[in-house]
Amino acid sequence: MTNQLFKNGVLPFVVDAYDQSVYDSKIVFSTQDIGTAKLVFQMRKDGVPLPLSAVDGKLVLSFNTGSKNVRNITLVDKVEGIAEYVLDNDEIKQYGKVQASLNLYYRNGQALSVHEFTFEIQRNLIDQDIAPAAEFYIDDFQSLKKQIERMAAELEADIKKRTDDMQGNIDKITKELQEQLEHLKEKLGDLEALETKEGAKTKVAEALAAAKKYTEDYAETPDGALKMAKDLVAGFQQKKITTDTGLPLISIKDTSVSILDAVIDNGLGMGSFYAIAKSKDLPNNRSFRGFFHITDATNGKGTFGWVYATDYINNIYTNYLNDNVWSGWNRLLTEKDLSSTWNQVTFVTGTTKHFASNPLLFSIRLNSLHLRGSFEGIPANDTVIARFAQKPTGETVFGGTTVGSYGAARLTFGVDGSLKFNGLNANDNTKVTRIEINEEIPLW
């Protein structure tokens, strides 16, 4: 006994509420995969195989022809969560994109939607129509009538298929095809009034010429089909911003995947994206949502564009792609960032103290540290009198004015955020009672 041959399309599904977007499986069968087109489902939940005991599996298949089938699936391995379904002879002939949904129904009354997905059935060359012959020889009027009626029926079927398959300016194309159909019906009416075989042949020739012109312009030649497709989509948006269900166009759920690479790989156009926390090349470790716009592309890859992203605490970042080089993430300042307040400096215990009527205050504004006020009780030279959470990229040296004896004091703000009193130089250092400061220190 020989083993039966199958063309397997494997679908690994994770059953959870975070992985329910419609999955484009990239599986492609042919209309000649008769009895061999098999969908294999590998189901896991919480990191382990999903048990399939006491359960019935149903597969819903929706075809471009408008038909919908609900089929039982075969449970191959109930312990390992593996099931399968082989498309029957009628289903494999319905070429085009197929929408499908896998559902599980448990004997205790519970039900579970495992996943929605799509796959494609390509029309094999052997199944495609052959162009009609240029001449017909019809010996009697009834045969002629049946031939014309068959042509009219084929045109009606063609109209229905094209209106179902193509989006856009359907009304315009349908009107044109209906006019062709009415023209053929008029020819049929004329033929029914004829009395001679020769006259009938003349009318048939005219009807066939009209049908032949239609097929040459549209249906039967690649150039004609391409022309019709271009006519349909001209003036309409031809690329998605979100998925068909409204979810982000790019969804990153693997921390090793770069969101910036995914945007570039998407190519020319706009779109929405989502990336889980700690995904590669994000501004921080939070999850992000946003939009991208690639304004130019070479060989299908983006070369210029920008990304607008926001994390779940409403920080907003931008990144600009310039000739295949990213500028780096920049956070947009908010009204809160621009609204500054004055706070009292906390001195290191035992070093000095605030002058009561004018204490030393600090404020952060536009990436600068502002100091204003005074302290009394002169500390020893090179004493750290305060420490700040803000840290500049370079050491800053600045001065203060002495009170009690005319002179100046030297202070240093270090890269570790420390404020150090270095010393003073006054007419009489022993008479200095306090130091006044009014300084702006850059933090970048």
191 in a domain, yes or no? yes
On whether both 319 and 403 belong to a single domain, the answer is no
Provide the pLDDT confidence category of residue 136 given band limits of 50, 70 and 90: very low
Indicate the DSSP class of residue 125.
Answer: G
Q: What per-residue confidence (pLDDT) applies to 15?
A: 86
Residues 401, 130: Cα–Cα separation, whole Å = 98
Domain at 75, CATH number: 2.60.40.3350
On whether both 263 and 286 belong to a single domain, the answer is yes
Of 75, 95, 126, the one marking the end of a domain is 126
Residues 342, 364: Cα–Cα separation, whole Å = 8
On whether both 14 and 59 belong to a single domain, the answer is yes
Burial of 322 (0-12, 13-18, 19+ CB in 10 A): exposed
pLDDT in tens, 26-54: 999 999 999 999 999 999 988 899 999 88
pTM, entire model? 0.34
On whether both 158 and 226 belong to a single domain, the answer is yes
Of 72, 100, 126, the one marking the end of a domain is 126
Q: Which of 114, 121, 90 is nearest to 41 (CA)?
A: 114
Specify whether the backbone of 278 is left (phi greater than 0), alpha (psi in -120 to 50) or beta.
left
SS3 (DSSP) at 230: helix
On whether both 223 and 281 belong to a single domain, the answer is no
- Please give the residue range of the domain that contains residue 138: 129-233
Residues 63, 67: Cα–Cα separation, whole Å = 6
Q: What per-residue confidence (pLDDT) applies to 366?
A: 80
402 in a domain, yes or no? yes
Tokens of 285: 């470790």
On whether both 89 and 12 belong to a single domain, the answer is yes
258 in a domain, yes or no? yes
2 in a domain, yes or no? no
On whether both 12 and 101 belong to a single domain, the answer is yes
Position with higher pLDDT, 189 vs 150: 150
On whether both 317 and 423 belong to a single domain, the answer is no
pLDDT at 365 exceeding the cut of 80: yes
SS3 (DSSP) at 216: helix
Q: What per-residue confidence (pLDDT) applies to 140?
A: 47
239 in a domain, yes or no? no
244 in a domain, yes or no? no
Task: Domain count for the chain, please give it.
Answer: 4
On whether both 116 and 29 belong to a single domain, the answer is yes
Alpha carbon separation from 277 to 29, 287, 298, 319 (Å, rounded): 37, 4, 31, 18
Helix (H) or strand (E) holding 372: strand 368-376
Specify whether the backbone of 147 is left (phi greater than 0), alpha (psi in -120 to 50) or beta.
alpha
Indicate the DSSP class of residue 248.
Answer: B
153 in a domain, yes or no? yes
SS3 (DSSP) at 432: coil
On whether both 113 and 135 belong to a single domain, the answer is no
Q: Do 49 and 43 contact (CB within 8 A), yes or no?
A: yes
On whether both 311 and 398 belong to a single domain, the answer is no
431 in a domain, yes or no? yes
pLDDT in tens, 193-251: 554 556 656 666 776 676 666 555 655 555 555 565 566 555 556 678 888 888 898 99
Q: What percent of the chain has pLDDT over 90?
A: 46
Position with higher pLDDT, 289 vs 172: 289
